[in-house]
Amino acid sequence: MSDLTSKIIGVGGYLPDKIITNFDLEKIVDTTDEWIKTRTGITKRQIAENQTTSDLAIEAIKDAINNANIDKNDIDLIICATTTPDLTFPSTACIIQNKLGIEKNIIAFDIQAVCCGFVYALSVANDIIKSGKIKTAIVVGAEKMSSLIDWKDRTTCVLFGDGAGAIVLQSTNEENTGIIDTELYANGNYIDMLKTSGGTSTNQVAGNILMDGKAVFKHAVEKMSSSIQNIVKNNNLTLEDIDFIIPHQANYRILSMVAEKLNIQNEKFIITIDKHANTSSASIPLALNEAIKQNKIKKGDLLIFEALGAGFTWGSVLVRW
Tens digit of each residue's pLDDT (9 = 90 or more) over 113-133: 999 999 999 999 999 999 999
Q: Which pairs count as long-range contacts for 213-219, CB under 8 Å and 24+ apart, including other chains?
A: 213/155, 215/190, 217/251, 217/253, 217/254, 219/190, 219/193, 219/308, 219/312
Closest CA relative to residue 99, chosen from 170, 164, 178: 164
Look at phi and psi of residue 225 and say left if phi exceeds 0, alpha if psi is from -120 to 50, else beta.
alpha
* Domains along the chain with CATH numbers: 5-172 (3.40.47.10), 178-320 (3.40.47.10)
Catalytic residue annotation = 115, 248, 278
Pairing, β 107-111 against β 77-81: parallel
pLDDT above 90: percentage of residues in the chain: 98
Amino acid at 99: K
Residues 6+ apart with CB under 8 A from 212: 192, 193, 194
Across the range 246-264, mean pLDDT stands at 97
- Beta carbons of 209 and 192 less than 8 angstroms apart: no
Closest CA relative to residue 312, chosen from 220, 225, 243: 220
Q: Tens digits of per-residue pLDDT, 47-105?
A: 999 999 999 999 999 999 999 999 999 999 999 999 999 999 999 999 999 999 999 99
The runs of H, that is alpha helices, within the chain are: 22-26, 33-40, 53-68, 92-100, 117-130, 213-234, 252-262, 273-276, 283-293
309 vs 82, 184, 189, 224, CA distance in Å?
A: 12, 11, 13, 10
Task: State yes or no: pLDDT of 1 exceeds 80.
Answer: no
- Beta carbons of 159 and 22 less than 8 angstroms apart: no
Per the confidence metrics, is the pTM higher than 0.95? yes
Cα of first residue to Cα of last residue in the chain, in angstroms, is: 22
Residues 6+ apart with CB under 8 A from 99: 54, 55, 58
269 DSSP 8-state letter: B
Across the range 154-163, mean pLDDT stands at 96
Q: Tens digits of per-residue pLDDT, 272-318?
A: 999 999 999 999 999 999 999 999 999 999 999 999 999 999 999 99
What pLDDT score does 2 carry? Answer: 57
